[in-house]
Structure formats: structure tokens, C-alpha cells
Amino acid sequence: MLAKESEKTNAISLRKQGLTYDEILKQVPVAKSTLSLWLREIGLAKASKQKITEKRKLAQRKAAQACHNKKVLITKQIIEKAESEIKRTNKEDLLLIGAALYWAEGTKERTKGTSVIIGNSDPKLVKMALKWLNECCGVTEERINLSIYIHESAKERIVEVRKYWSATTGFSIDELNKIVWKKNKLNSKRKNSGDKYFGLLRITVTKSINLNRKIQGWISGICKNCGIV
């Protein structure tokens, strides 16, 4: 009985010092239900309450960070495994990739004919499109016009933006003078915002109405060979 009273006194003292139940149980080996019974009427000083609250917040942050680290690791493993499944690609593969890319992102032919136009904010996609246009479509650099479509909130960063797309495409910064300012409200939830926002780069190929028609033929051929038409 004296041992229990001693444990109770110790538990109360530790609680008043701002220790959590789990921390107290490490020093006072009793059932959690017993500890709860002993401490349910024990008032805490403001400083002790704040101390316990901070400990809980710290524990929550640690748990959240551990969860995030696990997610990052799993994501990395999945991407690396998937990447290893893609073997060496050739020009025929590039032709199909580019046609599918244009199918999704490019401008389609209208009644009077339409030039080849494709735009995106993803630098890798832009580089892939340029590679495809050159190697599979025979489009030389002289036939390519580049335009930047960007929200007007980025006006102060336009020099940086032009340098970014110049480095991405290999075109000189002087060839990136055409800027189209967008006035719609910028989505604050997008990942590429703030200093990571570089707008969209639009690629227009001159004298390319027949090329657009040819691309539509490639897309049709892909559909037929996949058995979807």
C-alpha cells in the first residue's frame, strides 16, 4: 500500500512538472487506467499545460515528417523501377511519342488549315517536342517561332523567364521577345508558382499546314494499329 502511495505521489509530482502520461509511465510502472484515475483531478499550471502542448505538437511534427519521408522513399523506388523498364529508344519510337504528344497538346487542323503549334509549361515536354520536330518532321530552327504566355504578375521576372526558356530550348534570348500577358487570376495552389513559375512556351512552325495534316495521319495510323478505330 505504501508503495502504491509512493508511486501515486511521484506520478502527481511528475504531472505537475509538465510530463505527459507516456513519460510518467516510463518512471511509474502502473496501468494507464490507474494513472488516469490518480491524475484526473490534478490541475496543471499554465506553464505545465504549455509544456505538454508543445510536446504533443513536437510528436505530431515528428510523425508527419516520418510519414513524409516514407512517402518520398516509396515514390523514389517506384520511379526508379519504372525508369529501368524503359530501354533504349530509337527514331521510330520518337516518331510515335511525338505524334501522341501532339495529339494531346498540339493545335489540330481546322477548315482552312492550321500551322503546327504546340505549347506547354513542362521544360522536358518542350525539349521533347523540339527534338521530335527536328528529327522526325524535318523542321529547321529557322522555321520555329517561340512565344511565352505568362501571367502579368510575373512582369518583374520577365528577364529571368526569358533566360530560363532560352536555356531550356537552346534558342537565343533575342528569339524570345514575343510575350503574351495573361490577365486571369493565377491559381495559388499550382506547384510551379512564385520563383518557380515560368509560364508556358508556345512553339509555332511556319509553313506547316501540310505537316499538320501529316501528323494527323500519324495519329490515325497509331489508332488503327492499336485497334481503336
Taking CA atoms, 49 is separated from 7, 12, 20, 27, 44, in Å, by 22, 14, 10, 20, 6
Listed range (57-61, 134-138, 191-195) with the worst mean pLDDT: 191-195
Phi, psi of 87 (to 5 degrees): -90, -170
Amino acid 149: pLDDT: 97
pLDDT greater than 80 at residue 201? yes
Distance of CA 6 to the CA centre of its chain: 57
What is the spatial distance between Cα 95 and Cα 59, in angstroms, rounded to a whole number?
Answer: 53
**Domain residues of the chain, as ranges?**
2-80, 91-225
Residues present in the chain in total: 229
Distance of CA 204 to the CA centre of its chain: 27
- Kindly indicate the confidence band of residue 185, based on its pLDDT and cuts at 50, 70 and 90: low
What is the spatial distance between Cα 113 and Cα 204, in angstroms, rounded to a whole number?
Answer: 14
Bridge partners of 181, per DSSP, are 150
111-161 pLDDT, tens digit per residue, is 678 999 999 999 999 999 999 999 999 999 999 999 999 999 999 999 999
What is the spatial distance between Cα 102 and Cα 82, in angstroms, rounded to a whole number?
Answer: 24
Distance of CA 197 to the CA centre of its chain: 12
Residues 142, 144, 145: CA angle, nearest 5 degrees: 115
pLDDT greater than 80 at residue 200? yes
Report if pTM > 0.75. Answer: no
pLDDT greater than 90 at residue 52? no
Residue type, 205: V
Amino acid 55: pLDDT: 74
- Angle, helices 91-105 vs 123-135, to 10°: value is 120
What is the spatial distance between Cα 21 and Cα 44, in angstroms, rounded to a whole number?
Answer: 13
What is the spatial distance between Cα 91 and Cα 97, in angstroms, rounded to a whole number?
Answer: 10
